[in-house]
Amino acid sequence: MKNLVVLFLFFIGFFGFSQQAEYVDFKSAKAEIVFGDLKKKELRGRVTYEFEILKNIDSIFIDAKDFDNIKYQLDERFEDSLYNGKQLIIKHPFKANGKHKIDVIWKTTPKKAMYFIDWENESGDFENLNHQKGQVWTQGQGKYTSNWLPSIDDMNEKIEFDLSITFQNDYQVISNGKLTDKRINKSATTWHYDMQKPMSSYLVALAIGKYDKKVQYSKSGISLEMYYYPEDSLKFEPTYRYTRQMFDFLEEEIGVPYPWQNYKQVPVKDFLYAGMENTGTTIFADSFVIDSIGFVDKNYVNVNAHELAHQWFGNLVTAKSGTHHWLQEGFATYYALLAERDIFGDDYYYWRLYEYAQELLEQDKAGGSTSLLDPKSSSTTFYKKGAWVLHILRERVGDKAFKKAIKNYLKKHQFKNVETNDFINEVEKASGEDLTTFVEFWLKSKSLNYDEIEKRFFANIILNNLTHSGYPVSFDRYYSIDCDGYPEACKTILLVTSDEFLKGRIVEQLGSNISKSTFFNKSLKVRQAIARTMREIPLELKADYESLLNDKSYITIEIALFNLWNNFPKDQKKYLNKTKGIIGFSDKNVRMLWLTLALISDDFEPENNQLYYNELLDYSGSKYGFEVRMNAFRYLAWIQSCGDDCQENLKEATAHHNWRFSKFAKDLLKNMAVKN
């Protein structure tokens, strides 16, 4: 008998019941989640699923990865704990059309998908928390939610989730759906969130931390809940700038009402990506929390619009498989660009398309071009080529047919899963066109088809923008501006064009031909391009270049500070004194450079060297976000000052949950070992 059980478990683990959705339909889930010792990442809970059997079957499963303890009760009668480390198996003679309820009780310490941030110095239990800024957040995209919540990894299974979470009183708990109740006890609060519509399990979200929030309302009455750290109240407006405008624009442009009860956005520390479009609850990296100066150089607008667009494309309708992934990422990229076009104008829109095309071209040159319907394609293909295909398709069939097709596509397949043909069929119906050739050329072909993009779009976009000046500006095949033969023409265009992106490109092309008058341009993009382009500063332009330190751009200040410090050693003290109090972005880019230059400048406050070194070293510690730590490690390594404490922090970073940061730490340690 034991051998039969082992064989059965092997069968389940190997085949994974990949076709389970044909036999069972999970309808709803009500989960109760309680945290234990936060330092140990302890979690326990109970989830009740209601489901319907579609075809006779003798076993079903629920995904649950590496749980410490898990068992179930079926229909309040049958109990068992048959578990293979990946799935909880429910053996029962299920009959078609039967409706059932299963209660799953578990304990676990999640290895992935749920991240416990900054609890290392806590006792772990609610009674003794010292009110530090610990966080808990989830990232379930892929098949990861089952690492902390027994659920269904198959994105084709859509379930209506209601979550109740118990956590310490002083923290905000945010999840999908509408907050319907809060029960406050002596040391903990239980938060009840209700969803009304079904979604794939990978979109279940949880974020816990010290937050304040502000609420705005869309034209259609949807509440927009925007969370922020209490100390960042002055950064709220620039961080969430244009949120309501983009929401209203997308509802009108898409033509289908926002499908969820509300929309929440939550910044978290050390997030794995820029953002994640959990249903009604976007979680994003707190490195996008910026002030008004930072907004010019690095803002949340595009990520904000992208994750919002996913609420329709990805959450309302979900791709059946990786083959159709572009239906999510390509659409979100395209609609985010449309939302930005509504804010920043046509020049922004077309230059962004141009940049996407150049990125795709570089990938093509490196031999990386793949079909948009290849599940192994790169993010660049799914996102950037997907957006381009939608732009081209809209140009072909016209606005009216395109928008009608989008509306019909979403309404017909709402809360369901889709394939590319589902979308193409709606476009063909709305336009009356046969798109077979279009699909072969743009979707199935591995070729980028850059020549077609160039011929049909860039000539009008860029050449028309320039020739109105009356000067014969030349271009190479890929429309990189060539001002070598006509420097005076390019300088004149700087004065007459309103295209900020074009101005920046021209300055980059002018290079050493930048004149004194170029500095008079008030465009921050132009002046940033000057800072980036002019590494060797002529003495006659020194005073003009110094004026860049006054610009309201942290990127400009950072570049200008280093270049001035490097070009004019006798004035290093002057430049350091002028920029002493500037921090920069959340990664402290200007402050970190300043500390480094202060340490290696001759006779600059030698009495403070240890103080400045300690500050730089402190930034490499785990209490800071990984972006701050990476900057600190780079500068400490650059000045060969990564001593024992620094290297201990670096070794700790090699085990960080963010793979980019952990790889950076491993590579830096290896390089330092080679040099030694």
DSSP structure string for 26-89: EEEEEEEEEE--TTTT-EEEEEEEEEEESS-EEEEEEE--S-SEEEEEETTTEEE--B-SSEEE
First to last CA, the chain: 61
pLDDT of residue 239: 98
pLDDT of residue 7: 39
Give the C-alpha distances (Å, rounded to integers) separating 552 from 501, 535, 541. Answer: 18, 20, 20
Instruction: Tokens for 54, please give them.
Output: 């579609």
For the stretch 279-316, pLDDT in tens is 999 999 999 999 999 999 999 999 999 999 999 999 99
382: nearest Cα among 424, 335, 307, 327: 327
Cβ neighbours of residue 47 closer than 8 Å, sequence gap 6 or more = 29, 30, 31, 32, 103, 104, 106, 149, 150, 151
526 pLDDT tier (thresholds 50, 70, 90): confident
Q: Map residue 579 onto helix, strand or coil.
A: coil
SS (H, E, C) 420-477: HHHHHHHHHHHHCCCCHHHHHHHHHCCCCCHHHHHHHHHHHHHHHHHHCCCCCCEECC
Please state the rounded mean pLDDT for residues 178-186. 96
Q: Map residue 99 onto helix, strand or coil.
A: strand
Q: Map residue 175 onto helix, strand or coil.
A: strand
Looking at residue 383, the DSSP 8-state letter turns out to be I
pLDDT of residue 494: 72
Mean pLDDT of the chain: 90
Give the Cα separation of 182 and 184 in Å (integer).
6
Residue 468 near residue 488 (C-beta atoms within 8 A): no
Give the C-alpha distances (Å, rounded to integers) separating 14 from 10, 83, 492. Answer: 6, 14, 68
Please state the rounded mean pLDDT for residues 407-413. 98
Backbone φ and ψ for 411, nearest 5 degrees, come out as -70, -40
Backbone φ and ψ for 651, nearest 5 degrees, come out as -65, -40
pLDDT of residue 521: 75
Please state the rounded mean pLDDT for residues 503-511. 77
Backbone φ and ψ for 251, nearest 5 degrees, come out as -60, -45
Judged by average pLDDT, the poorest of 121-125, 275-279, 601-605 is 121-125
Residue 255 near residue 249 (C-beta atoms within 8 A): no
Our CA dihedral for 530, 532, 536, 541, rounded to 10 degrees, sits at 20
Rounded to whole angstroms, the maximal C-alpha distance in the chain is 90
Instruction: Tokens for 149, please give them.
Output: 């919540």
Q: In what order do the strands lie in the sheet with 172-175?
A: 114-117, 135-138, 206-209, 172-175
211: nearest Cα among 311, 302, 289: 289
Please state the rounded mean pLDDT for residues 109-117. 96
| pLDDT for residue 432 is more than 90 | yes
571 pLDDT tier (thresholds 50, 70, 90): very high
Give the Cα separation of 650 and 81 in Å (integer).
42
663 pLDDT tier (thresholds 50, 70, 90): very high
% of the chain at pLDDT higher than 70: 90
For the stretch 153-179, pLDDT in tens is 999 999 999 999 999 999 999 999 999
- Regarding beta strands 78-80 and 87-94, do their DSSP bridges make them parallel or antiparallel, or are they unpaired? unpaired
Q: 């659920």: which residue's tokens? A: 151
pLDDT of residue 468: 43
pLDDT of residue 17: 41
Cβ neighbours of residue 636 closer than 8 Å, sequence gap 6 or more = 616, 617, 620, 642, 646
| pLDDT for residue 512 is more than 70 | no
CA 10 to chain centre: 37
| pLDDT for residue 548 is more than 90 | yes
Taking the CA of residue 283 as centre, how many other CA atoms within 13 Å lie in the half-sphere pointing to its CB?
29
Q: Map residue 322 onto helix, strand or coil.
A: helix
Judged by average pLDDT, the poorest of 122-136, 521-535, 577-591 is 122-136
Judged by average pLDDT, the poorest of 501-510, 557-566, 569-578 is 501-510
For the stretch 447-500, pLDDT in tens is 888 888 877 665 544 444 444 444 444 333 334 556 766 677 777 777 767 777
Please state the rounded mean pLDDT for residues 139-143. 90
Higher pLDDT, 642 or 12: 642
Higher pLDDT, 535 or 498: 535
Please state the rounded mean pLDDT for residues 543-564. 96
Give the Cα separation of 16 and 18 in Å (integer).
5
322: nearest Cα among 414, 420, 448: 420
Residue 51 near residue 24 (C-beta atoms within 8 A): yes
209: nearest Cα among 277, 150, 132: 132
